[in-house]
A and B are shown apart, each in its own frame.
Chain A
Amino acid sequence: MSESKIERLISEDGIRCDGRRLDEIRPIKFQLGVLKNTDGSAYVEWGRTKILVGVMGPRESHPKHLALSDKARVEAYYRMASFSVEEWKSPAPSRREVELSKVIREALEPAIFVEFFPRTSIDIFIEVLQADGSTRCASISAASLALVDAGIPMRDLVASIAVGKVEGKLVLDVQDKEDKAGESDMPMAYMPSKNAVTLLQMDGQITHEEFMQSIELLKKGCMEVYRKQKEAIESHFKGAVSNGEEA
């Protein structure tokens, strides 16, 4: 144990600890319509990160005085299950969860035609069942699909991914180990057809040059997630159509 005290996260030939190349994303599996009591839902397995998203709405706002007269009120609730991380986490929302709920809402709202549903609420409930890095990116990407499943009109899907700096190198799609040991983490959410960045955060230290490279890498990563989101929608609704024919 003590002999290998410094574990390298990137090998000499540029392979990461889970076998990925620097610009390779983890296996991502999206599934739509996984819950019965929501208006729309989605499940994602993003490497070992596993998240369920349920959407309720557009529905009557509660309490009523919070309703907006010119658009729907969007709320997001990002919560981590108590068993989702190494050590037991109190189920009460932490400051981190409060902030992430806010930025996730702000990442999704620009995609929704909120002006079509004045005086209503659209609630997005996110439960992280297992966290292994990039949970906000996986949440946003899956929530987009849950909104689609709910039939809510959208300008585009929101695809999201993170770039980190690990051992001085920029890596796409940061997993937990890389996030903890890495020098920086920079998640972005993007609507490709609008060229719109709806979430952008960063912590850690990067140079101006690395920042510009990160933006390019993030765009590329978001496009890959975007393709997987579209595939998930296609396979979900193809299934629905063929089921209909059989009946």
Chain B
Amino acid sequence: MSQRIVPTVKRKQIIELSESGKRMDGRTLTDYRDITIQTGLVEKADGSSMVSIGGTKVVAGIKFEVGDPFPDIPNEGVMQVGAEFVPFASPEFEPGKPDEVAVELARVVDRGLRESKVLDTTKLCLIPGKKVWIVHVDVYILDHCGNLIDTAALAALSAMLSASMPEACIEGDTVRLTGRRLPMPITDIPINVTLAKIGSRLFVDPSFEEEEVLDCRFSVAFKENGMLCAMQKGESGYITPEEVLRAVEIAKDKSQEIRKKVVECLKLKSDKVGES
């Protein structure tokens, strides 16, 4: 009970402020917090990134592994997204197996990437029907200040965009790594945008205190061509169909904004690599 009193009082304040289009931290309802993207942090990974949205911080790493294909798609590589909530990221996180929140987060991030076909998995086949590349995309939540989904999705994407894959040559039934690197078969830049519904208003990129008092959250991912590729409503409140339509409109604009930022950030990085 004691934990719920403060959020209840805050909720009133947040709703009152939002009537004049403002938020507790000075943003408008459609503003994101500051986004920073850093790539190449972990050299042992095939790709990595550290992304923060406001105070929320997520590190993502890509690892390639030779493995078995799924029987129903024997000639395609496999992408696997995992999420780990590191206990120092929030007093609410506990050590142990990923709970339902972590599982949902991983699956929402996975769907955004997978359904947009960000990776051309047909290019990840080594020996048809026998060996393919397994691409592990793991996100670690380091600091939780709200909107884990967008931060994790952006971290996973940035790690993937900045990754390279090992070159392999096939000798009979064995896979030998040449030690050289190949570019990733990237085909899209999907962006996930999350909004919180609080009272009758929609808040882009909810902060931790906004998440504590929200009615529900709604995430939608867009491909570069503007098509929707994943959606998820979360938490135990509801949203009207009209609000869903409005949320998608807002999110579409926001996704373009963020994609521009991603392209700029990653190009900046590759330019620097080119100079050195």
B254 close to A (CB within 8 Å)? no
A215 on the interface (CB 8 Å rule)?
yes
Chain A nearest Cβ from B46, distance in angstroms: 23
Is residue A207 within 8 Å, beta carbon to beta carbon, of the partner chain? yes
Q: Does B209 contact A (CB under 8 A)?
A: no
Contacting pair A200 B106 (CB below 8 A): no
| Contact string against B for A residues 113-153, beta-carbon threshold 8 Å, 1 for contact and 0 otherwise | 00000000000000000000000000000000000000000
Whether B231 lies near A186 (C-beta < 8 A) is: yes
Does B128 touch A at the CB level, under 8 Å? Answer: no
Contact A200 B233 (CB under 8 A): yes
B239 touches A196 (CB 8 A): yes
Q: Indicate if B189 sits at the interface (CB-CB under 8 A).
A: no
> Which of B86-94, B198-206, B221-229 is near enough to bind chain A?
B221-229
Task: Name B112-130 residues within 8 Å CB distance of A.
Answer: 114-116
A235 within 8 A of B: no
- Contact (Cβ within 8 A) A109 B236: yes
* Set of chain B residues within 8 Å of A207, measured between Cβ atoms: 226-228
Per the bound structure, the CA–CA distance linking A211 and B100 in Å amounts to: 28
Taking a contact as CB atoms under 8 Å apart, the answer to whether B107 and A96 are in contact is: yes
Q: Are A205 and B241 in contact (CB under 8 A)?
A: no
Q: Which residues of A contact B237 (CB under 8 A)?
A: 110
* B147-165 vs A, Cβ < 8 Å mask (1 yes, 0 no): 0000000000000000000
Please give the distance in Å from A218's CB to the nearest CB on chain B. 8
- Candidates B104, B240, B245; contact of A195 at CB < 8 Å: B240
Complex Cα–Cα for A186 and B115 (A): 13
B218: interface (CB < 8 Å): yes
* Pairwise interchain contact B245-A105, C-beta atoms closer than 8 A: no
Please, which residue of chain B has its CB at the minimum distance from the CB of A155? B238
B232 within 8 A of A: yes
A101 touches B115 (CB 8 A): no
Given A70-B1, A95-B106, A205-B228, CB of A215 within 8 Å of CB of B240: no
The answer to whether A201 touches B240, judged by C-beta atoms less than 8 angstroms apart, is no
Say how far B234's CB is from chain A's closest CB, in angstroms.
7
Docked-complex contact B228 and A197, CB < 8 angstroms: no
Q: Chain A residues with Cβ under 8 A from B218's Cβ?
A: 200
Mask: chain A, 59-88; 1 = CB below 8 Å from B; 0 = not: 000000000011000100000000000000
B29 at the interface (CB under 8 A from A): no
| 8 Å CB contact of B238 from A105, A194, A204, A211 | A194
Q: In the complex, how many angstroms separate the beta carbon of A164 from the nearest chain B beta carbon? A: 13
How many angstroms from the CA of A38 to the CA of B124 in the assembled complex?
50
B252 within 8 A of A: yes
- Identify the closest chain A residue to B82 (Cβ): A95
B244 pairs with A200, CB closer than 8 A? yes
Residue B62, interface by CB 8 Å: no
Task: List residues of A (87-105) whose CB comes within 8 Å of B's CBs.
Answer: 95-96, 98-99, 101-103, 105
Interface residues of A in 191-213 (CB under 8 A from B): 191, 194-208, 211-212
Known: A196-B238, A197-B241. A99 touches B104 (CB 8 A): yes
Query: In the complex, how many angstroms separate the beta carbon of B86 from the nearest chain A beta carbon?
Result: 19
A197 with B230, Cβ < 8 A, contacts A203-B115, A215-B244, A215-B245 known: no
A198 and B238 within 8 A (CB): yes
A203 touches B244 (CB 8 A): no
Question: Do A102 and B100 touch across chains, with their CB atoms under 8 A apart?
Answer: yes
Which residues of the partner chain A approach B220 to less than 8 Å between Cβ atoms? 202
* Contact, CB under 8 Å: A211 / B228: yes
User: Complex Cα distance A201/B219, Å?
Assistant: 9
Identify the closest chain B residue to A194 (Cβ).
B238
What is the interface of chain A, defined by CB distance below 8 A to chain B? 69-70, 74, 95-96, 98-99, 101-103, 105-106, 109-110, 184, 186, 190-191, 194-208, 211-212, 215, 219
Mark B residues whose CB is within 8 Å of A: 1, 4, 100-101, 103-104, 106-107, 111, 114-116, 216, 218, 220, 223, 226-241, 244-245, 248, 252
What are 11 A-B residue pairs whose CB atoms fall within 8 Å in the complex?
A98-B100, A99-B103, A101-B100, A106-B235, A197-B233, A200-B232, A200-B233, A200-B239, A205-B229, A208-B227, A215-B245
Listed from nearest, the 3 A-B pairs whose CB atoms lie closest are: A196-B238, A202-B231, A109-B236
Task: Please name 8 further chain A to chain B contacts, defined as beta carbons within 8 Å, in addition to the given A205-B115, A212-B245, sorted by A numbering.
Answer: A99-B104, A110-B237, A191-B238, A197-B241, A200-B232, A202-B230, A202-B231, A208-B248
